[in-house]
A and B are shown apart, each in its own frame.
Chain A
Amino acid sequence: MLVTEFHHLVRLAGEMLPPNVALLWRKPGLFETIGTTLAMTFLGTVTGCLLAFVLALVAARNTTLHPALRSATRLLFGLERATPNFVVLLVLFISFGYGPFAAMIALAIGSIGMFGKLFADAIEEVEAGPCEAVELVGAGRWQVIRYAVMPQVLPVVVGRSFYAFDVNLRAAIALGVYGGGGVGFELQLAMKVLRYADAFALILLIILLITGMERVSDAVRRRLLPQGVLK
C-alpha cells in the first residue's frame, strides 16, 4: 500500500520544501506561541507533580492514613493512567473553554497517574531506619514525613519531575493540536489551510524545542541534584 501511494508522499514533500523558515521571524506572535506551549508544560508539570506527590503520600504503604485510602488512591492512579490525555481535555474544554488553560489542567491531571505511582513506589522503598529513629525521639506522623521520608525521596521526586516535564512537552504539542493552543495548534492550523512550507518550518521548530528543552532540563537537573541542595 505504501508503495502504490508513495507518489502522494513525494508530492507532499515537494510542497513542504523548502521550509518557510522566514516564518520564525516574520510571523507576529510566534514567540508568544512558543512561550504558551512552554508555559502550559511548566505549570502543568509543577501543579501535576505537586498533586502527584501529595496523593503519593496517601498511596504509599508506610505513610498512608488508612489502608483503604491507599487502595483507593492506587486505583485512581490506575484509572488515570488508562484515560487518554485528550479525553480529559475534551471534558475540560466544557469547563474552561478552548485554550492553554484547559490544556494546562489536562497536563496536570495527566501527570498524576504515572508520576503519582512512581512517587508512591519511591516512598515505599524508603529505608525504615531513619523513620524509626525519628519516631523514637517522639516525632508525629508529619514530622516523620518531614524529617525522615522527605529527605530520602526528594531527589527521586525532583528527578522524575524533570522527566515529567519532557513527557509533558510532547503531550502539550499533541493537546495543542486538539485545540489547546500553542505550537501544536499553529501546526494544525498551517496543515489545515494547506500551507505546508509553513508547517514544515513549525515541525523543525518543534524538533528544536523538544531536543533543546531536553538539554536544558538535563543541565538544570544535573546542577540541582548531586549537590544535595534539596535536602
Chain B
Amino acid sequence: MSAALSIPTATARADRARRAWRIVLAATLMGALVVGSAILCRVDVVGFLPGLFQGLSVLRFFFPPDVGSLAEMVGPALVTLLLAAVATPFGVALSILFGLAGAANLSPAWLRAPARGVIAVERALPEIVVLLLLVAALGVGPFPGVVTLAIGSVGMLGRLFADAIEEIDARVIESVACVGASRWQVVRYAVLPEVMPSFLANAIFRFEINLRASVLLGAVGAGGIGLELQKAMALLEYERAMMAVLVTLALVFGAERISDFLRRRVLEKGGLR
C-alpha cells in the first residue's frame, strides 16, 4: 500500500523487485515441495475422481445402519469408555508427580532435568507406538490400553502442569515459606490452590482426548468399539460398521459436550475450592 503511494524512487523500485523475487522464490519452493511430496505419496491425479466415485458408491453399502447390532455394541462402547475413565486418573496422578518434579521453582536441577526429559520424550512418542510395545509384552486386551493412555497423558498434562507451576508468582510461594512451611506444605498451600482450576480443566480435556484415542487404540488390540468397527470392516459387514461408527460418534460427541460443560464450570467457579 505504502509503496503505491510513495514516489517510485530507486530504493522503492529495488524494494519492490526484492519483494517480487521473494514471492517467486517462495512459490517455487512451495511448488517443489508439493510436487516432491505428491510423488512420494504416489498421488494419483487421474485415479482420484474415479476413486472418489467408487468410494461414494461403496458408501451406500453402509446404509441403512444395522440397528439390530446396537445391543452388541453397548458392551464394547462401555469398554472404550471405561478404558479412558480408568486411564485418566492414573495419568493425572503421574502428571502431578512429573509436573512437580519438572517445575524449576520447586524441584532441584538434578530432578528437574530428567523429569522434563521424560515429558519431552513422551510427548514425541505417538500413543500407538507405546501400545504396540505394550501389546508385544502383555498381549492384547484392555490392560495395555489403560497403561498406554495413562502414560500418554503425562506428556501433555505433565508439561502443562509444570509450566503452570513455574508461572506462579514467586511472592505467593515465598510468603508461605516465610512462615515456616515445609516443601510439602508449600505445595499444599501455595502451589495447588494456584494451579488447580486450570489443571482440572486440562485433565477433563485430556479425558476427552483419551476417549478418542481409546477408540483408535481399540483397533490395534485394546478392544472396545474400535475393535468392533475394525472387525466389521474386515468382514465387509458395512452396515454393522456404520452402526459402530454411529455409536462412536455418539460417545465422542457426548463426551465433548460434557467435558465442555465441566471445564467451563471448573474455570468459572475455581474448581474444588
Contact = CB atoms under 8 A, between A and B. Distances in A.
B249 A79 contact: yes
B233 A90 contact: yes
A65 interface: no
Contact of A78 (B34, B121, B248, B253): B253
Interface string A84-119: 111100111011100111001000000000000000
Given A12-B137, A104-B43, A174-B128, A87 B54 contact: no
Interface in A188-231: 188, 191, 196, 199, 203, 206-207, 210-211, 214, 229
A94 B245 contact: no
Nearest to B26: A229
Interface stretch (A1-9, A127-135, A137-145): A1-9
A84 B212 contact: yes
A101 B256 contact: no
Contacts, number: 135
Interface stretch (A19-27, A38-46, A52-60, A154-162): A38-46
Given A84-B226, A87-B245, A229-B22, A206 B40 contact: no
B245 A95 contact: no
Contact of B138 (A8, A32, A211): A8
Given A90-B233, A101-B43, A174-B127, A191 B249 contact: no
A127 B45 CA distance: 40
Contacts of A174: 126-128, 216
Q: A interface, how many residues as a size bin?
A: 35 or more
A96 B41 contact: no
Contacts of B120: 211
Contacts of A92: 55
Contacts of A90: 229-230, 233, 241
A135 B125 CA distance: 49
Interface of A: 1-2, 5, 8-9, 11-12, 32, 35-36, 38-40, 42-43, 46, 78-79, 81-87, 90-92, 94-96, 99-101, 104, 170, 173-174, 177-178, 184, 187-188, 191, 196, 199, 203, 206-207, 210-211, 214, 229
Contacts of B248: 82-84, 87
Contacts of B125: 203, 206-207, 210
B41 A43 contact: yes
A32 B256 contact: no
A39 B143 contact: no
B70 interface: no
B133 A12 contact: yes
Contacts of A211: 120, 124
B220 interface: yes
Contact of A36 (B41, B54, B212): B41
A42 B41 CA distance: 10
A84 B120 CA distance: 25
B24 interface: no
A39 B138 CA distance: 34
A177 B256 CA distance: 26
6 contacts: A8-B137, A83-B245, A90-B230, A91-B58, A94-B55, A203-B129
A163 to B, nearest CB: 14
B44 interface: yes
Max chain B C-beta neighbours (<10 A), residue from A81, A82, A83, A196 = A82
A104 B219 CA distance: 20
Max chain B C-beta neighbours (<10 A), residue from A39, A104, A211 = A39
B252 interface: yes
Contacts of A87: 229, 245, 248
A39 B55 contact: no
Interface string B46-58: 0100011011001
